Amino acid sequence: MASPILEVRSLTKSFNQFKAVDDLSFAINKGAVYGFLGQNGAGKSTTMRMLMGLIFPDSGSIIINGSSFSNSQRQLLRNIGAIIERPDMYGYLSGWENLKIFAALSGKNIKTTRLHEVIEMVGLKGREKDKVKAYSQGMKQRLGIAIATVHEPDLLILDEPTNGLDPQGIAEIRQLILSLSKDHGKTILVSSHLLHEIEQVATDIIIIHKGKKMIEAPVGELLRPDDTRIEITLQPAPGLQQSIYQTSWAQYSPEIIDGVLTIKMNPAHIPALNKWLVVQGIEVSGITTQHSFEAYFLNITHETTAADRTV
């Protein structure tokens, strides 16, 4: 089995008496999109800053491509691209000029053809000669990703890349992350407070709370189809609650409130349930599904917070 591209071992960081990151360990394999989740103040940004050498851990180690970060920091950083919070750029210069400057700072000999490639990749072709101060926040984020990838790093670290964006901008960043992974083979660590967005791009997820790791697993293990919440909007149907509990559907704990049937089961069973409702003479006007991921996240962090209060 190949070694992880990034391995974090027992990383700890405190600010005065506040422990921001507490004995944190995880590993990212090459080609993965690793979702890094936690509530505000959980320690995500502090961890990412340590991965970039912007702050130093109190203890623990960071291993990149088998080498210790503390021993080979400058060399290893050449194979990492990052956006930590909002990317800093020169607003009075064009996107192209910004890209050229940061490409030169990477320490690699980057050709003009590569600059054109990344400008097209992030969707800024035709706007690269405009001054950055005229860019929308979404365009600035995409230019930031161009800057982070221009030197063709093995690992991308993206801290809240959709922060402050409108729905269109969020969708554009999501598609760009998917393209970087699938089309360009990048390994990506991305943090976000938008659980639905992480669910759509990540192959693996780590959840931290108060600096501690709560769970680390492939997305498929957390998003179990049998736990999908399904809501079916019905016409008024007196007696349906009682009659459905006399069928095999009862095993999925159905509940009807204000004309909405809520049931937790695998979406593969929806056609059969819909057919049963039609046979009962009940009109269905809408069906929506909701994965359990958000509920899982809130439950795991809420349980920890509640436990802390009882100590």
CATH number of the domain enclosing 123: 3.40.50.300
> How would residue 307 be classed by pLDDT, with cut points 50, 70 and 90?
very low
Domain that holds residue 29: 6-222
54 and 126 fall within a common domain: yes
β-pairing verdict for 229-234 and 255-257: unpaired
Percent of the chain at pLDDT > 90 equals: 51
Alpha-carbon distance of 276 to 287, in angstroms, equals 14
> How would residue 295 be classed by pLDDT, with cut points 50, 70 and 90?
low
> How would residue 276 be classed by pLDDT, with cut points 50, 70 and 90?
very high
Domain boundary residue among 178, 205, 222?
A: 222
> What six digits make up the tokens of 114?
């590569």
- The answer to whether 18 and 31 are in contact (CB under 8 A) is no
Query: Phi and psi for 129 in degrees, rounded to 5?
Result: -90, -5
Q: What is the CATH number of the domain that holds 245?
A: 3.30.70
Q: What is the pLDDT of residues 223-248, one digit of tens each?
A: 677 778 888 999 877 888 888 989 99
Q: What is the pLDDT of residues 112-158, one digit of tens each?
A: 999 999 999 999 999 999 999 999 999 999 999 999 999 999 899 99
CA 176 to mean position of chain CA atoms: 13
